[in-house]
Amino acid sequence: MRITDLLKKSGIALGVKVADKSEAIDKLVSLHEKCGNLKDVKAYKEGILNREELGTTAVGMEVAIPHAKSEAVKAPALTAITVPDGVDYDSPDGKPCKLLFMIAATTDGDVHLEVLARLMQLLMHEDFTAKLKAAKTPEEFISIIDARETEKFPDEPKAEVPAKKGYRVLAITACPTGIAHTYMAAESLQKAGDSLNIPIKVETNGSGGAKNVLTEEEIANCDGIIIAADITINLARFDGKPVLQCAVSDGIHKPEELINKIVNKEVPVYHHKGGSADAPRKRGGAYGHLMNGVSHMLPFVVAGGIFIAIAFLIDIACGVNAQEVGSAFGTVTPAAAWFKTLGGVAFNLMVPILSGFIAMSIADRPGLLVGLVGGFLATSGATFMDPAAAETVPSGFLGGLLAGFVGGYLMLGIEKMCDKMPKALEGIKPVLIYPLLGLGGILVVMCAVNPFMGMINSGMSNGLNAIASNPAMMVPLCALLAGMMSIDMGGPFNKAAYAFATLNLANADDQAYIIMAAVMIGGMVPPIAVALSNTFFKNRWTDEERKNAPVNYIMGLSFISEGAIPYAAGHPLQVIPSCIVGSAVAGALSALFGCKLMAPHGGIFVFATMQGTWYFYLLALAIGAVVSMFMLALLKRPIKK
């Protein structure tokens, strides 16, 4: 068995500074853990220390080779460090050790003895050890060993790596909406794997649940896993496997790079810490936590909004005059009232769901209670002086966001504080101590901040009312929001504009409906504009781009902005500005025409809810898409044959 077969680049650390023998052992063990060589780090380290108690493993000549044969080892492996300043390792010649190897061996066979014998034969040559101590990179370190092994044992071939069964690379894709980006990233990774001749399987965590789910056997046999997701993903099942986490957009735009990192073993091994196997683990960062909340909230917004829109349709069909009945519109007929009531229930849950899943993304399952209650308190507006919220202004969406983040980090603090409690209380922590302390904490926080958040909401509401009363200000606002929908087509700008519009629908007034119409039309323009450009300006696009373009007509009319992403990714300086301008024009025209949309999603399929203005809405959409198409024709020059 060759030394180079057991030693990985990630298992080598050069120029290390360690204070003593114990610290040197810790460093070598941590390299084994980093390489994924161990089942149980603590048990393996105990084996190393037990061997050291029998006598030092320093061999003289500034070299030490600590080793252990243990059931905690997955497969025979080596790690190595160089210590330029030396470390006292109780060497028989009294010299400090500057070159240390650590052998991890399984209990079947005597691999550690074979490796130890091989190492000793090589390390007897001072010029060889001097070269290893002077190596600047792990690659150089391995090449020095390889050259000497080949010279010393010329007839011994390198060990053949057995072919892995099944897929070499596994992946999971997910986006906040669980619609376009999820499947675009999956398709991109699949195509890249096929082109690289690397078997890959992709699990999609879409709006309809997980599809093509990875099995335990596939996970055990793969080289590594790519997590291309903007929401929380369960990582517990990947414990001990190399896991590469990235944004879902990287799965779309950089699939070959991600796959090559897995195959070339450039990805760290993931070690699951705490929580149950079902507990979702966070991707990290405020944006990741926010998107986890948004992805769970969207079904409530969409379904509730469409139910409310159906209620309006029923009243319209029954001849109800919206102007005469005022705020009672949508509840005049019994059938309309039924749909409006159920839609309102879903709408009332969206802020607690948002804050609950933000908190859960931060603090796992214990955070859910804190976030949900905090979100409910935000929608009710409870304060210390008015717990029933009879006379206060709710803090609403902004309060829900605050409740999610504050509740999540509050629960993390409570968990850390409880770490020092007696082990006998471990069983009651998640069912009694965490909920009680978390609930009390979030009640205090939300009752304290609700008055201030309510004032901000009142200011925003008054501002919107002022804008609504002045058409000259409403048009620029709608143009801005519609343009934002095209900046990143599903990213933070897009989601900010969409969240602003959908959450304002709860106000059930004209300005909210005008804003919703502008935001939806802004998201419909990019894919339609790209499809039009491919249809009428064919010489600007490749054969592949033209072949895939027609589906963008359907995606655009269905309000799926992400259909334009592949074109924007390939030609960002031409596509993105063109789409922003066209969307802004469409949004401004929608506001000028007085288009009012009561449903937050659905594209052309919910145009019937627009109170008789749908034909102007179609006109605004057509004008915006054509503006984008002509701007694209100006910015994107014909492709030279």
For 87: left if phi > 0, alpha if psi spans -120 to 50, otherwise beta; the answer is beta
Residue 229: both structure tokens together: 């997701």
Catalytic residue among 35, 97, 175, 595: 175
For residue 212, the one-letter residue type is: N
H-assigned helices in 7-60: 21-35, 41-54
Q: Report the C-alpha gap between 486 and 586 in whole angstroms.
A: 12
Q: Report the C-alpha gap between 17 and 21 in whole angstroms.
A: 11
Give yes or no: 595 in active site: no
Tell me which residue has tokens 């790596």.
Answer: 161
Give yes or no: 318 in active site: no
SS3 68: strand
Q: What angle do CA 631, 560, 178 make, to 5 degrees?
A: 140
> Nearest CA to 9 among 34, 29, 27, 41?
34
What DSSP line would sit under 233-288, residue for residue?
B--GGGTTSBEEEE-HHHHHH-HHHHHHHHHTT-SPBP---SS-TTS-B---SHHH
Catalytic residue among 32, 35, 67, 296: 67
Cβ-in-10-Å burial (0-12, 13-18, 19+) of 533 comes to buried
Q: Report the C-alpha gap between 445 and 383 in whole angstroms.
A: 10
What DSSP line would sit under 487-522, residue for residue?
TSSSSHHHHHHHHHHHHHGGG-SHHHHHHHHHHHHH
Residues recorded for the chain: 641
β-sheet with 200-206: strand ranges across: 209-211, 200-206, 169-174, 224-229, 243-246
Q: Report the C-alpha gap between 51 and 67 in whole angstroms.
A: 7
Q: What angle do CA 331, 334, 336 make, to 5 degrees?
A: 50
Q: In sequence order, what are the residues at sequence separation of 6 or more whose Cβ sits closer than 8 angstroms to the Cβ of residue 137?
A: 14
Q: What angle do CA 179, 237, 173 make, to 5 degrees?
A: 20
Provide the annotated active-site residues: 67, 175
